[in-house]
Amino acid sequence: MTEEKSEFKILEKELKKEFKNAWDNIENREEAFDFADEYKKFLDNSKTERLCVEEIIEYAENNGYVNLDDLIKDGKKLETGDKVYAINRGKSVVMALIGKENVSKGLNIVGSHIDSPRLDLKPNPLYEDSNLALMKTHYYGGIRKYQWATIPLAIHGVVITKDNKIVKVSYGENENEPVFYISDLLPHLAKDQAKKTLAEGINGENLNIIVGSIPYGDKDTKEKVKLNVLRILNEKYNLIEEDFLSAEIEIVPAGKARDIGFDRGLIGGYGHDDRVCTFAALKGILEIEVPTKTAMTVFTDKEEVGSQGNTGAQSKFVENVVSEMINLQEDFNQLKVRRAITNTQVLSADVGAGLDPTFPEVSEKLNSAFIGNGVQLVKYTGARGKGGCNDANAEFVGEVRKIFNDNNITWQAGELGKIDQGGGGTIAYLLANDGAEVVDCGTPVLSMHSPFELISKADLFMTYRAYKAFMNR
């Protein structure tokens, strides 16, 4: 005999929103674990925006994507089903799968950013003090500075030498390579520092990385430890001190992403913000069949400092690519570009703040994302009275919600913490300013912007399925 449900139970099921754990909605958990393993490799290879671009291009080319510039050079047309990518100065990249309709009818875009908070070398970084060689850094993006001391650090970047040669620098990731280090005070002598606020305990000018300690030279040589570091850099990379001026060298946490917890359900790693959404979008576009509208992924630089510059989302790069694509399909005019963008829908693919059970006081439980409850749909970000936000239109949010529900995706709504506790933004408002429909949607993270951020493998998997469903239309 089956148990009869009470009318209240039935009413509850009909009316109340059910919050599901994403794991309960993943039939084959091995699939989510395998996906996470591939993501960890992607993350380990993508420590900077430039390295991330290289990684994305490799994925793209291995899956039949061709450089849009080559198509233009060869005077080819763009056809339904064509796969193209375009690189912007090695720091941002877009991919597009041409749909059944012309690009001028609008696109479905998933846009993430591939820069992460870090330390950049100053233009004149190297000095010697107290038998140590050190390098001055200037932090990039919103970091909590005290978190970057006393951890192993690696160096990645490019240097343009005096003969205009590009030298790629990468040091500190392999087990047999040395790492770099920022010191902090011992507790025994930290009486004054301990009275300072967390924000002031380690300040920007304290973020000096130790890069050497062995002298080189004779009794007349000044700054022998510094000279030795320069000698090694010259041997290894053919660099001289002045080259640092025309360089972009980034200091990031050394080491690989790791599983976290006895059940291995979480991933700790540097740069989940926002390479987790990047990987989810990348895998999504690679796996869809030819959609009705052209599917596009945008992987942009400079989000962490406001999206300015010619590689940030404020640049005209995406619009230029859309223009080129229209020009390869039909008679070109500007109005077609404007109309294409107006008819474009965008998921601004960025991570959200998950509720941290150790610090619940900064979140409002009813409107927070929880680790494990799936991909997070964020109608608006901003600070205080929604300042600086992109507030997605209800009609569009409704459409996205339906896509997710129709595709059995575990999703949750969420704000970025309590009102007046702080706030933040994404690239959402930029394409929205041009007239596209945009809503924020991404993976919830704990310890965001720290050297070792935390996400759930189930949330990662739902994010990928969500982006894939969104582009597969």
Positions touching Mn ion (CB under 5 A) are: 273-274, 350
Residue 389: CB atoms within 10 Å: 22
At closest approach, how far in Å is the CB of 294 from Mn ion? 25
Cβ distance to Mn ion smaller for residue 173 or 350: 350
For 174, 269, 353, 457, the CA distances from 260, given in Å and listed in that order, are 21, 10, 18, 10
Distance CA 431, CA 338 (A): 12
- 465: number of Cβ within 10 Å: 26
Running DSSP on this structure, what letter comes out for residue 416? S
Instruction: Choose between 318 and 448: whose C-beta lies nearer to Mn ion.
Output: 448
Q: How far is the CB of 273 from Mn ion (least distance, A)?
A: 4
Minimum CB–partner distance for residue 112 and Mn ion (Å): 8
* SS3 (DSSP) at 231: helix
CB of 411 to Mn ion, least distance (A): 18
Instruction: Give the C-alpha separation, 212 to 230, whole Å.
Output: 10
Write down the residue that tokens 């039909």 correspond to: 330
Least distance to Mn ion from the beta carbon of 362, Å? 16
Pair of tokens at residue 6: 């009470």
Q: What's the min distance (Å) between Cβ of 277 and Mn ion?
A: 8
Shortest Å distance, C-beta 147 to Mn ion: 14
Phi and psi torsions of 57, nearest 5°: -60, -40
Q: Which is nearer to Mn ion, 128 or 274 (CB)?
A: 274
Give the per-residue SS3 of 260-308.
Answer: ECCCCCEEEECCHHHHHHHHHHHHHHHHCCCCCCEEEEEEEECHHHCCC
Q: What is the DSSP letter of 174?
A: S
Distances (CA, A) of 172 to 7, 65, 121, 405: 63, 32, 15, 44
For 447, other C-beta atoms within 10 Å of its C-beta total 17
> Residue 49 or residue 350: which is nearer to Mn ion going by CB?
350
DSSP letter, residue 371: T
Nearer to Mn ion, 250 or 350 (CB): 350
Q: Tell me if 35 sits within 8 A of 461, measured CB to CB.
A: yes
Name the minimum Å distance from CB 351 to Mn ion: 5
What is the Cα–Cα distance from 98 to 83, expressed in whole angstroms?
Answer: 6
Q: Return the number of the residue (46 or 102) whose C-beta is nearest Mn ion.
A: 46
In whole angstroms, how close is the CB of 321 to Mn ion at the nearest point? Answer: 22
Q: How far apart are CA 98 and CA 107, in angstroms?
A: 9
Q: How many CB atoms lie within 10 A of CB 194?
A: 10
Q: Whose Cβ is closer to Mn ion: residue 25's or residue 447's?
A: 447
List helix spans (H) across 328-410: 334-342, 394-406
* 398 neighbors 386 (Cβ within 8 angstroms): no
Nearer to Mn ion by C-beta: 309 or 435? 309
Q: Which of 439, 401, 421, 416 is nearest to 369 (CA)?
A: 416
For Mn ion, give the closer residue by CB, 118 or 293: 118
Which residues contact residue 105 at a Cβ distance below 8 angstroms, ignoring those fewer than 6 apart? 293, 340, 343
At closest approach, how far in Å is the CB of 303 from Mn ion? 6
Measured CA to CA, the distance from residue 161 to residue 255 in angstroms comes to 28
Nearer to Mn ion, 140 or 181 (CB): 140
Min CB(97)–Mn ion separation in Å: 24
The distance of Cα 408 from the centroid of its chain, to the nearest Å, equals 25
- The least distance separating Mn ion from the CB of residue 33, rounded to whole angstroms, comes to 25
128 or 350: CB nearest Mn ion? 350
Identity of the residue, 114 or 153, whose beta carbon is nearer to Mn ion in the bound complex: 114
